[in-house]
Amino acid sequence: MIITLKKQAPQKEINKLIQSFESRGLQVTLIHGDNYNVFGLVGDTAGLDEKTIQANPFVEDVTRIAAPYKKANRLFHPQDSVIDVAGIKVGGNEKIVVIGGPCSVEGQTQIMDIAQSVKDAGGDMLRGGAYKPRTSPYAFQGMGFEGITCMVNARSKTGLPIVSELMSADKLDEFIENVDLIQIGARNMQNFDLLKAVGRVNKPILLKRGLANTIEEWIMAAEYIMSEGNQNVIFCERGIRTFEKYTRNTLDLSVVPIIKEKTHLPIIIDPSHATGDWKLIESMSLAAIAAGADGLIIEVHNNPECAWSDGAQSLKPERFAEVIRKGRAIAHVIGREM
């Protein structure tokens, strides 16, 4: 971190700043110039707040050289992390995983049929919403624990690990017992108490990007989880909100190489929520594979026209199977399997 002081800063104030930084175990180098004095801080500056430092009337500017995240930073962990989800490896140069299933669990027969279709198509995990965050309080909110139970039964039949969204920490024990990959949704990406709670468990976490969050804010959300001890985090890009109205959100595929450059954690893509249109899912899925994504999470429904939620962005099982078939060809080109 570089801190520029105003030239008229009294030596007494300079000494106070130096002492405050050294008390944190930081190495301070002071460079005198004609117009400014500059501090160079070496050490773990993650706990320093730039705005607090800049509030000092004798500070001109603060520039962070290193990223504020440490646990997720590739600089401190050069090897790719591979996250184990009930025996399925995500990340590194492992197989590109495909997660499929409905936006909402609607009953035992529905989820059982879809789970079998996902498995038959070559899918690796089953997704399904039991607790649903909806924009309208009058929209279907999910089946709750009954929905979780339906997915557990579908897992028993198909062997597919379960992916489902956790809405609040009071349901955490239920998810630890029944869910293989706990999803933190876009609306909860900066629910810091919830992030800390899942950081204290030994379960893989699927962390979706917030609707209008920067990449650094997203990584810092992962840092919250990892700082509590849980290193098993998988990023999920699901599109961000922009001025564009032709799609539900704007899919930012540039995050794939950026996340892989900045962090050691795997990243998967959600083309369903990103586009909001089933007709766009195949092309965006193939593009995500080509960009280097470690997986896809796609909404699949056996009767989208009658789906209780998000039918317009759900693929029928036969189209889901076609995405996997074409995806394998793209994966082969870039030296991976799917």
**Nearest CA to 155 among 144, 147, 143?**
147
Relative orientation angle of helices 108-121 and 317-333, to the nearest 10 degrees? 30
3-state SS track over 179-193: CCEEEECHHHCCCHH
In this prediction, residues 204-214 reach a mean pLDDT of 97
Number of Cβ within a 10 Å radius of residue 177? 9
Going 147 to 175 to 253 to 289, the CA torsion angle's sign is negative
Confidence of residue 75 (pLDDT cuts 50, 70, 90): confident
CA 4 – CA 10 distance, rounded (Å): 14
Q: Is the pLDDT of residue 76 over 90?
A: no
What's the distance, CA 116 to chain centroid? Answer: 27
Number of Cβ within a 10 Å radius of residue 66? 15
CA 255 – CA 274 distance, rounded (Å): 13
Write phi, then psi, for 143 (nearest 5 degrees).
Answer: -85, -5
Tens-digit pLDDT profile for residues 121-167: 999 999 999 998 777 787 777 899 999 999 999 999 999 999 999 99
In contact, 300 and 117? CB cutoff 8 Å: yes
In contact, 99 and 271? CB cutoff 8 Å: no
* Runs of H (alpha helix) within the chain: 11-22, 50-54, 108-121, 145-158, 172-178, 192-199, 215-227, 255-262, 271-275, 278-291, 317-333
Which pLDDT score is estimated for 70? 83
Tens-digit pLDDT profile for residues 11-58: 898 889 889 889 988 888 777 766 677 878 877 787 788 888 889 998
Write phi, then psi, for 332 (nearest 5 degrees).
Answer: -60, -40
CA dist 145 to 98, 130, 149, 230, 301, Å? Answer: 25, 7, 6, 25, 20
Tens-digit pLDDT profile for residues 214-265: 999 999 999 999 999 999 999 999 999 999 999 999 999 999 999 999 999 9
